[in-house]
Chain A
Amino acid sequence: MRDYVQTAATAARIAEAQARYVHTIDDGNCVEWPEFFVDDCFYMVTTADNFAQNLEAGIIWLDSKAMLHDRILSLFEANVYERHSYRHMIGQPFITSIEGDEVECESSFMVARITREGPTMLFATGRYIDRWRLTDEQALIVKRIVVLDSGYIDTLLGFPL
């Protein structure tokens, strides 16, 4: 029972942090996205096939919070693309391990893309394979591997997943 309470409380904290994560990317200030991560974080976007075959390169491969910052900066300052936005739906975190203040979990996601010409379309589905660090004050991502279900990416991948 005690384990259940601990797991449920942990899941609730992560779910709350992910709700803020989604709000920040989809409706808030995307520039604040790196603030969900620890300084020496790891963030990667790959596909289920590559992940299953242990292929190590990603579509996005960032190993510091500074690189996350740079990614957002480049999207707003340097890269060229038609105006579009994402809408994330993130499922409940499935807690797979709790060790001290570090938690491993997985969450499913769906992301719709909204473009200038044409209706909303389903852009990506997949799962986050995460390691979080939970302290009394904060819940931060140490490692997030974004595993896309499909190996096909339509047009381009810009904003964070």
Chain B
Amino acid sequence: MDGARPTSETTPRWAEEDGGTRVPYWVFQREDVRRLETDKVFHGPCWNYLCLECELVAPGDFVAVHVGETPVIVTRDADGQFYAFENRCAHRGSLLALEDRGNVKDFTCVYHAWTHSLQGDLVGIAFKDGIKGCGGIAEGFDMSKYGPRKLRVQTVEGMIFGSFDEDVDDLEDYLGEELIGRIARVFNGRTPVVLARFTQILPNNWKLYVENTKDSYHASILHTFFTTFELNRLSQKGGIIVSEEGGCHVSYSMIDRDAEEKKKNASLYSEQKIRSDKDIALQDTSMLQGFKEFPDDITLQILTVFPNFVLQQIQNSLAVRRVQPTATDSTQLHWTYFGFEEDTPEERKIRLKQANLVGPGGYVSMEDGCIGGFVQRATATASGERAVLAMGGYDIGSGNDRITEASIRGFWTEYRARTGL
């Protein structure tokens, strides 16, 4: 693996008292940590985001994704239910699906034509009875005892999640009422439709990206698009919600109507949307003219589910992001932009324009593509040094401001509890 540094034989000790406040850089570098994460996080009692229900409409529809580094197939069978299982032949381990998506009646391995149902059961073996009485599978071979590992599957608001652990809490309990409310707020009973998919390759450990998505503190500092052009600088208020275990969060900001009104009354506020300096004014501000989509005044909501999921609302730009580690220092970020069947043509156009804000080339997200790599490179020989997360104190509680690192501390708290690190 490129960029891997030789690691000492035993996993270093992470001081208990560091909690979620001090994070040693070796957690972003070590192969043994990567293996532990496969076991305890991605294959552990966690819910991993798989895909949207609207990507599996007809019986036989499938998508091929990854849970952690494990290739997984998600299907809809004739019973209308969703299933997920490893993308691995029961026989000698070849990939079963060789496309990202499609419609099939079963999965027949290209290697020796062993056939698997849409639910991941081994149902057929080529030349099972041999030819002319010669060869064939061993007597008494029981197909039901062989097969790719299956995931438990549950859905919330049109999104499909899977877990390798049968004993995982129900998705509803895992997410909690508050998070589900925030997810439902975005979908609001509508029918999602995929607008595009892109994959961004991040030159860093997956957890550096997860930290970034939970980091409401960096937003206005690293991403200067809005501040540079002084766009829509309506007063904002907001806050964060951190789940009980710490690993899931919501960060949001909204128009502060009271502050707006006060400013207007005091005549301290100009209606001007762009800088007076003409040289750096945007010429076409139509991108920022959104439509009223939600009953509240929330213009930005970033929601994460431990370990691999982000749901984004930035104005009218909606997307889900799936985080997939590929090496200790490499991550794939799978973006799915979506709108709704109910969108009017005008609303759809606004979504397409506002998609410029996000993704691999987005005005307010392109920086996130390189920032994790800066950390990965800078800390290459600083394995024993530790990052510090002290903004907003040391706890992991929810709060009404965004200049806090509480949700990142929350992530590490849950991560440590699950991995035992």
Contacts and interface: CB of A to CB of B under 8 A. Distances in A.
Interface of A: 45-47, 49-50, 55-64, 66-67, 69-71, 73-74, 77-82, 117, 151-158
Contact of B363 (A49, A74, A154): A74
Q: Is the interface of B mostly helix, strand, loop or mixed?
A: mixed
B116 to A, nearest CB: 25
A67 B201 contact: no
B201 A153 contact: yes
A47 B225 contact: no
13 contacts: A58-B352, A59-B196, A64-B286, A67-B283, A73-B280, A73-B282, A78-B225, A79-B367, A81-B367, A151-B199, A155-B360, A156-B360, A156-B367
B352 A61 contact: yes
A69 B282 CA distance: 8
B229 A67 contact: no
B154 interface: no
A57 B282 CA distance: 22
Interface string B329-362: 0001000010000000000100111011001110
A80 B196 contact: no
A61 B355 contact: yes
A79 B348 CA distance: 26
Interface in B350-408: 351-353, 355-356, 359-361, 363, 366-367, 369-370, 373-374, 377
* Range class of the B interface residue count: 35 or more
B281 to A, nearest CB: 8
B373 A155 contact: yes
Contact of B199 (A56, A61, A153): A153
Given A67-B287, A73-B282, A78-B229, A157 B196 contact: no
Given A49-B197, A69-B283, A74-B228, 7 more contacts: A56-B195, A61-B356, A67-B283, A67-B286, A73-B282, A74-B225, A81-B367
A80 B195 contact: no
Contacts of A73: 280, 282
B198 interface: yes
A81 B337 contact: no
Contact of B370 (A45, A58, A151, A155): A155
Interface of B: 100, 194-203, 222-225, 228-229, 280, 282-284, 286-287, 332, 337, 348, 351-353, 355-356, 359-361, 363, 366-367, 369-370, 373-374, 377
Contact of B224 (A63, A66, A78, A153): A78
Contact of A152 (B201, B222, B361): B201
Nearest to B372: A155
A155 B195 CA distance: 22
Nearest to B369: A156
B317 to A, nearest CB: 9
A3 to B, nearest CB: 37
A59 B284 CA distance: 18
Contact of B203 (A60, A61, A153, A155): A155
A60 B351 CA distance: 12
A91 B280 CA distance: 35
Contacts of B286: 64, 67
Contacts of A80: 222-224, 367
Given A77-B228, A155-B203, A155-B369, A58 B283 contact: no
Nearest to A60: B361
A78 B363 contact: yes
